[in-house]
Chain A
Amino acid sequence: MRTKTMLGLTTALTLAVSAFAAGADSIKIAFIDPLSGPFAGTGTNGLHQYQFAAEELVNKKGGVLDGDMFEIVAFDNKISPKESLIQLQVAIDQGIRYIAQGNSSGVANALTEAINKHNRRNPDDRVLFLNYSAVDPALTNDKCNFWHFRFDANADIKMDALTDSIVSNDEIEKVYIIGQDYSFGKAVASAAVKYLGEKAPQIEIVGNELHPIGKVKDFTPYSRKIVASGADAVITGNWGADMVGLGKSVLENGFTGPIYTYYAAADGITAAFGDAGVGSLRLVAEGQLNPPPNDRASEYIQAFKAKYPDGNMSQARITNVIEMLAKAINEAGTADDVVPVAYALAGMEHESLWGGNLMMRESDHQLIQNVHIMEHTSDVVHDHDNSGFGVKVVKTVEMAAADSPTTCKMRRP
């Protein structure tokens, strides 16, 4: 009886699957990021940008291959590496071949390891990891693998550009480094110490500390230490609620110097700072919104805002992920076997929607692109959070760190 049921079930399943495969017109991309909890804002906005990019840049243009459409499938990982691995398994079980994740390098480290293992053990249903935001340098160095592609500039590349900007400012003699206590926060801190030491040994690092991620209720004690240390500038890799908490608290408690950040824009952060952040907040990032790089980018942003009036074009690189993936799938001639897709992606050159060229470095799968220093200001065309404030590019490093060394030793199939 039981065997019969099982048999029946299996047949039904096989039929369903083959029926699905015959009419396969969607290439699914699993979006695994926080959609609840303290960082839900960042995650949800990222999801919208993915859905919009897939629709606008691929599906409306007839899709890839012979009319296959991109479909973004959302999975909530609650920013937990453990939960992410469960969601990854669910995604793989659903036959999804492309995994996009970005928030938290802790999660990315767990995912890249799990995907590497999975691909080794299951050569028939391998998956690709499209990392669009996790910037821990280790991911494209010691922990690199053939399946992982990073579309954001990593923490070292960003810190290189950021410290250039600090060194060129003569008023900065003392720097305070503070970040979230996990792999990315530590990577930012060690990169800052390294680059400042190399470029400007006369600059004194008056503080270097980590705080628990997503758990600090009140940043006042930290701000007190920063002000008391006499720092002229603050460097932080904080993001989400931790960025607003730290930044607002530091400014409220009397700090007036520049705050160099990685992620102090959009997702409510720009609005929360408002006028208080002008003159202080600096940002190192890719993807130029202001001044608008070209008409196509402006139109894209306007269309996005029309669809998501409360949304933000905060992660410009997402369009690069979608466009380059579509291009790679077309070049490979298949979306089911990710090996040729990965080979097409590695070494690919592409012109970004946001201006400038992109190059996926073959040796470590790190995307090489223009990196900008931006400032928080009201002098913008495209604002964030509908607040009238936004970020404007004040300095650009072309194809940043294109020849930077990597310790990556990739095993290719």
Chain B
Amino acid sequence: MKPLIPETWITSPQGVLWITADMDLILVNLIDGLVTGLLLFMLSAGLTLIFSMMGVLNFAHASFYMLGAYFAFQISLYLGFWMGLLIAPLVVGVLGAGVERYGLRRVHQYGHVPELIFTFGLALLIEELVQFIWGKNQMPYATPEVLQFTAFSIAGNSIPAYKIFMIFISIAIFIGLLYVLTRTRVGMIIQAALTYPKTVEALGHNVPLIFMGVFGVGTALAGVAGVIAGPVLGTFPGMAFVLGSIVFVTIVIGGLGSLWGALVASLLIGWITTFSKAYNLRMEDLLTWLGFTKPEPIWDSAWRDLWSITSPQIADILPYILMVLILIFRPYGLFGKRDA
């Protein structure tokens, strides 16, 4: 009988079995994946709310994330990191609300396509603007000194205190959002406006104001993500581009409009990419285990590329594969309530 996990699957470059030797490393990777996932969540939470409410795919969402990082960097030069964390998301949120009020709302009457084009143009505009003001180089935006120490180490792998701080901030934001959306009056009106905007309006609520608020809060969340990700992932004009598409993948997998879906999908993507990068799983081993024989000589074979794939190489496209599978088998996403 075949072993459940083929022994050669999880091997280090020297061929030592990692699964037995490095249970600690799995824990470390779980933490790293959690950080990546939670960061993604902060971006996708805002986007998924905005999408479900207005039906607008906000292409500029990641640009607000970038703005958050740059604003916070600029503020941190004068007032320190913590004021940056406080002020920058507010500024980004106000900017976002302004974009909704004076941009999107006007374009809205012409339909969804102009809205799409508007946000797409906005993304390009913001990138150019950032380059115009701050230049094209990476900014020396650093983590605050009080957090520049190792929180703890697991088998020689140090976990920086800043990562723990990121985890706490993200979880606090998730709980806060969940509370507001499900337990408060404002949250109920928002949820009602999601599904029955006309009825809510007829009941005397100012739906355009709600839309503006949600857009503002959504972009502010992206701003927070930018502020805390800037020092570790780098503050440079390409940062929005690098994260842009994966955010859409997250909300599609999670289900449009679902906060829980955004959380689960973000964590799933965080862990999938982290683990597939951290371990060199080889396609060769998988195929052999499935009973295929390796064509010899391999460099002449038409299947050469398939046989030589390793998991770190395809780590970043795995979320896209997952999205395709979700779209085929569960088009409304993991937690979505209606058809997309």
A-to-B contact residues, CB < 8 Å: 36-41, 43-45, 181, 205-212, 214-218, 220-222, 224-225, 227-229, 241, 244-245, 248-249, 252-254, 267-269, 271-272, 274, 310, 385, 387
Contacts and interface: CB of A to CB of B under 8 A. Distances in A.
B98 interface: no
B28 interface: yes
Interface residues of B, number: 46
B316 A241 contact: no
A207 B12 CA distance: 9
Contact of B32 (A224, A268, A274, A385): A224
B239 to A, nearest CB: 8
Contacts of A216: 316
B306 interface: no
B36 interface: yes
Given A209-B312, A215-B316, A228 B25 contact: yes
A267 B137 contact: yes
B131 A221 contact: no
A207 B13 contact: yes
A209 B14 CA distance: 13
A221 B158 contact: no
B136 A241 contact: no
Nearest to A387: B140
Interface string B96-139: 00000000000000000000000000000001000100011111
Contacts of A207: 13
A359 B24 CA distance: 54
Interface string B157-175: 1101000000000000000
Interface in B257-301: 273-275, 277-278, 280
Interface stretch (B77-85, B189-197, B229-237): B229-237
B277 A385 contact: no
A376 to B, nearest CB: 14
16 contacts: A38-B238, A38-B242, A39-B238, A44-B135, A45-B137, A206-B14, A207-B13, A212-B316, A217-B233, A220-B274, A221-B315, A228-B12, A254-B150, A271-B138, A272-B140, A274-B142
Contacts of B150: 254
A221 B135 contact: no
Given A209-B312, A211-B312, A385-B137, A241 B13 contact: no
B22 interface: yes
Contacts of B277: 211, 221-222, 225
Nearest to B155: A228
Interface string B1-39: 000000000001110000000100100110010011000
Contacts of A222: 277, 312
B153 interface: yes
A214 B157 CA distance: 26
Contact of A268 (B140, B156, B233, B310): B140
B160 A253 contact: yes
Contacts of B35: 218, 220
B238 A241 contact: yes
B28 A224 contact: yes
B243 interface: yes
Given A217-B233, A221-B29, A254-B158, 5 more contacts: A38-B237, A38-B238, A210-B312, A220-B32, A252-B160
A38 B241 contact: yes
B313 interface: yes
Interface centre among A205, A206, A248, by most B CB within 10 Å? A248
B138 A41 contact: yes
A40 B138 contact: no
B32 A272 contact: no
B138 A241 contact: yes
A304 to B, nearest CB: 16
Given A37-B241, A268-B140, A228 B233 contact: no
A253 B153 CA distance: 9
A274 B233 contact: no
A239 B206 CA distance: 51
B157 A254 contact: yes
A146 to B, nearest CB: 31
A218 B14 CA distance: 25
A217 B136 contact: no
Contacts of A248: 232, 234
A206 B16 CA distance: 12
Given A229-B13, A241-B234, A268-B236, A224 B278 contact: yes
Contacts of A221: 29, 32, 273-275, 277-278, 312, 315
Contacts of A272: 138-140, 234
Given A215-B242, A225-B278, A38 B312 contact: no
Contact of A209 (B36, B136, B158, B280): B280
Given A224-B28, A228-B156, A245 B234 contact: yes
A241 B236 contact: yes
A226 to B, nearest CB: 10
A249 B143 CA distance: 12
Contacts of B310: 209
Contacts of B131: 36, 40
